[in-house]
Amino acid sequence: MSHSPQPDRVKYAFILPAFLLVLTITLFPLIYALVVSFQTIRIVPPIPPRFVGFDNYTEILGSARFWGSIQVTAVIVFISVALQYVLGFALALTLHHNVPGASLYRVSFLLPMFLAPVSVALIARMLFHPVLGPVNEFFTLFGLENLPFLTSPSFAIATLITVEVWQWTPFVVLLMLAGLQGLPSEVFEAARVDNISTWRRFRDLTFPMLLPLSVAVVFIRLIEGFKIIDTVFVLTGGGPGTSTETLTLFAYNEGFKKFNIGMTSALSFLFLIVVILFGTLYLAAAQRMIRRYQ
Amino acid sequence: MLDSTDTPHIVFDRITKSFGATEVVPPLDLTINKGEFIVLVGPSGCGKTTTLRMLAGLESVTTGAVHIAGRDLTHARPGERDCAMVFQNYALYPHMSVRENIGYAMKVHGTPKEEIDARVGEAAALLGLEPYLDRKPRNLSGGQRQRVAIGRALVRHPQVFLFDEPLSNLDAKLRVEMRTEIKLLQKRLGTTAVYVTHDQVEAMTMADRVVVMRAGVIEQVDAPIRLYEEPANRFVANFIGSPAMNFFEVATRDGAAWLDGQRLPLSPETFARIGARDRVTLGIRPEHMDGGDAPAPLTLRCDTLEPLGAHTLVLGHVGEEKVVAQVEPRFPAEPGQECTVQIDMSKAHFFDIDSEARL
């Protein structure tokens, strides 16, 4: 009996539906957007699409606003994710060691994550109001009145980072706590019997054993963080000027204020490239670190 | 071989352990001598592991005190007790090589590198781990992992070794090999060892003294052979020995025990000790049912035979009670037929029917 592949073509007919489904659902919009990014399309006023080659891309790459938005996004993402990870891991460790009332903390720490970013931003806007907000009142106690939380570029970025950290640290807590609870307890008991201090147990056991999880958590937060738009939109609208404009907000402004769809598509693809670039660099670095331990 | 001296090394002074309202270990007293190999044995949930963990400091002691080498360490941290522990599932550091696993504690405590290397090398040679020193635990077999765990314990030169069912994840053949290795190692080092197992064969083969526990209570503490020959009660008699001891409810009168209408004569001393009773438990091990010093015939109905080569097991009934007899391979018995075995009455045990204590 021969086991060579069947020569008939029927097998392709069975694969075809799934293939078409994938094509229409995921690949078609992507390809469509790519095609659009090489055209000039305006919806308002409607003019027929015109093929312009790489004009959209060169225009974007030549604009200072684009590079500014990359910088703003990168600053917000890297600082806030670093803070989220450190704070989140610390809180997870605390909760893991069953402080009194841990279950209450566990629920309340997770709440910010369940709120819509828009409402978080709205609340933050009240909190950080330079005259009426409670944050202002707090700083007034130290003689720092009416700080320009949302109106000075560096203050605005710091405020955005604060809000991001507040909202997304719970995500890190949740995953790191799950990771901590999945670690084998005997390993730590063995270390305790061997008189290894708490700090060394963390440094030499907990941290390396959770490193793969940490890499994944930070990666998810980085990718998610790059997409930040709602918080910025509500809190600062990208201002003052374009000093807090992130990549996605920039794309939104192009698409829905100027209705320049071709330009927006090109911007989206550049955004994709930026994320892939940062993501790849990050994963390469993380891989190296994990390999050191495993 | 280092002889165990009679100086007390570990003393449990009426320790108890409660989880909430549930008392898992009622007041427990035990003294372990220096250099001794003590095995805590008992069925699941008898409190043996809890007792060991209280000694290690991994479990708090509810009341009472634990002394090691004369120091009260009841509330000391695990690290202050100078014990080394081997866990059931090895508890190796998964991201460290064998070398790092064994040397880790010494490295943290600032031992010079040359000494760490020397001691790791010594332990690896002793345990046959030299070819694997640079492997990670996940690339080792179960037996190798357990040897790494033992190596990690012994390089520290601790005062006390603690073993928590270290062999139960290994296959039968490896278990037999490892138990010999552990015992020889402990004798060579002369370190006091406390070993927990639910396997009575492990307990018998390894221990200087065996502690049989049930529901947190120590039933008997004795040398293995005394445990076998003079079990303190029916529980110990049943737990020690394989196949397990046969128990019959008999009456004693006229210098004999009466089982299902059959007369089993007793020596005058034995009868004098037990006296005439309407109901008493007679215990006889299967291996003592094929003749001996004081043979007494017992007729039983044979249900099935289990030939094991060196000897054969006859599984049958006497009246309503089940019986297992270990006889010579050519013993004339047929399933479904009656057969007669010779009980060695000098090896019979008697237990009170209510208190189950040895008579």
pLDDT, tens digit, for every residue of B323-359? 999 999 888 888 988 899 999 998 999 999 998 999 8
Of A187, A200, A209, the CB nearest to B91: A187
The pLDDT, as a whole number, for residue A5 is 62
Reduced to 3 states, what is the DSSP secondary structure of residue B71?
strand
Q: Are residues B198 and B73 in the same domain?
A: yes
Task: Return the CATH class of domain A58-293.
Answer: mainly alpha
Interface residue of A183, A185, A193 to substitute, partner B, most B CBs within 10 Å: A193
| pLDDT of B2 above 60 | no
Here the tokens at position A282 are 């990050």
Give chain B's radius of gyration (CA, Å).
24
Residues 170-209 of A with CB under 8 A from B: 184, 186-187, 189-197, 200, 204-205, 208-209
* pTM listed for this prediction: 0.80
- Judge whether B269 lies within some domain: yes
Instruction: Select from B239, B263, B283 the last residue of a domain.
Output: B239
**Same domain (yes/no): B113, B171:** yes
Pair (B14, B100) in one structural domain: yes
The reported pLDDT for the residue numbered B1 is 37
Same domain, B230 and B269: no
Of A193, A197, A205, the CB nearest to B93: A205
The answer to whether A193 contacts B80, with C-beta atoms less than 8 Å apart, is no
B3 domain-assigned: no
Which residue in A186, A193, A195 is closest to B89 by CB distance?
Answer: A186
Distance, in Å, from the CA atom of B74 to the CA atom of B60, rounded to the nearest integer, reads 8
Maximum Cα–Cα distance across chain B: 77
pLDDT averaged over every residue in chain A: 87
Residue at token pair 């903390």: A105
Q: Which two tokens mark A162? A: 């604060």
Q: In terms of domains, do B270 and B344 share one?
A: yes
> Does any domain span residue B20?
yes
A292 touches chain B (CB under 8 A): no
B148 and B261 part of one domain: no
Mutate to test the interface with B, among A194, A199, A202 (most CBs of B within 10 A): A194
Write out chain A residues lying below 8 Å of B108, CB-based: 194, 196-197, 200, 204
Do residues A120 and A112 lie in contact, with contact meaning Cβ atoms separated by under 8 Å? yes
pLDDT at position A116, please? 87
Q: What is the mean pLDDT of residues B11-30?
A: 89
CATH number of residue B227's parent domain = 3.40.50.300
Q: Which domain holds residue B169?
A: 8-239
Percent of chain B with pLDDT over 90: 48
Chain A nearest-CA residue for B153:
A194
Listing from the earlier edge strand, what are the strands of the sheet with B8-19? B22-33, B8-19, B63-68, B71-72
pLDDT band at B4 (very low <50, low <70, confident <90, very high): very low
Q: Omega before A48 cis (within 30°)?
A: no
Residue given tokens 């293939």 in the structure block: A19
Residue B1 lies in a domain: no
Residues B250 and B152 in one domain: no
* Residue finishing a domain among B239, B254, B277: B239
Q: What is the CATH number of the domain that holds B322?
A: 2.40.50.140
Q: What is the pLDDT of residue A263?
A: 86
Co-location of B102 and B214 in the same domain: yes
CB atoms B94 and A190 under 8 Å: no
| Overall number of domains in chain B | 2
Residues B99 and B28 both lie in one domain = yes
Q: Which residue of A has its CA nearest to B137?
A: A294
Beta strands in chain B (DSSP E): 8-19, 22-33, 37-41, 63-68, 71-72, 83-86, 160-164, 192-197, 209-214, 217-222, 246-253, 256-259, 262-265, 277-284, 295-307, 312-318, 321-327, 338-344, 349-351
Min distance B58 CA to chain A CA atoms (Å): 7
B88 lies in a domain?
yes
Q: Which residue of A has its CA nearest to B94?
A: A209
Nearest-Cα residue of chain A relative to residue B59 = A189
Mutate to test the interface with A, among B108, B148, B168, B169 (most CBs of A within 10 A): B108
Q: Are strands B160-164 and B83-86 parallel, antiparallel or unpaired?
A: parallel
For the segment B175-233, what is each residue's pLDDT rounded down to a tens digit?
888 888 889 989 988 999 999 999 989 999 999 999 999 988 899 999 999 999 999 99
Is-cis flag, bond preceding B265, omega within 30? no
Mean pLDDT of chain B: 89
B58 to A189: CB separation less than 8 angstroms, yes or no: yes
- B139 in a domain, yes or no? yes
Which of B189, B205, B239 delimits the end of a domain? B239
- Pick A190's closest partner by Cβ from B80, B81, B85: B85
What is the pLDDT at residue A33? 87
B25: left (phi over 0), alpha (psi -120 to 50) or beta: beta
What is the Cα Rg of chain A in Å?
25
Please check whether residues B250 and B235 belong to one and the same domain. no
**Consecutive sets of 10 residues in chain A, 294 residues long: mean pLDDT of each?**
66 89 88 88 77 86 89 93 95 84 81 87 87 85 81 88 92 92 91 91 92 92 90 85 87 82 87 88 88 72
Q: How confident is the model at residue B3 (pLDDT cuts 50, 70, 90)?
A: very low
Pairing of strands B262-265, B256-259: antiparallel
Q: Does residue B14 lie in a domain region?
A: yes
Same domain? For B200 and B252 the reply is no
Residue of B238, B162, B246 whose CA lies nearest to B196: B162
CA B311 to chain A, closest CA, distance in angstroms equals: 43
Instruction: Tell me which residue has tokens 């203050």.
Output: A155
Residue B200 lies in a domain: yes
pLDDT of residue B236: 93
- Is the domain of B63 the same as that of B206? yes
Q: Is the dihedral of CA A93, A96, A100, A101 positive or negative?
A: positive
